[in-house]
Amino acid sequence: MPVEIERKFLVNGSGWRQENGVRISQGYLNRDKERTVRIRLAGEKAFLTIKGLTVGASRVEFEYEIPATHAKQLLKLCDSPILQKIRHTTVLNGLIWEVDEFLEENEGLVVAEVELEREDQSFERPSWLGQEVTEDPRYFNSNLTANPYCQWREL
Other beta carbons less than 10 A from residue 43's beta carbon: 11
Specify whether 28 is catalytic. Answer: yes
How far is the C-alpha of 86 from the C-alpha of 44, rounded, in Å?
14
How far is the C-alpha of 149 from the C-alpha of 154, rounded, in Å?
10
How far is the C-alpha of 59 from the C-alpha of 140, rounded, in Å?
13
C-beta separation of 119 from 134 below 8 A: no
How far is the C-alpha of 40 from the C-alpha of 52, rounded, in Å?
17
Q: Among all residues, which ones are annotated catalytic?
A: 28
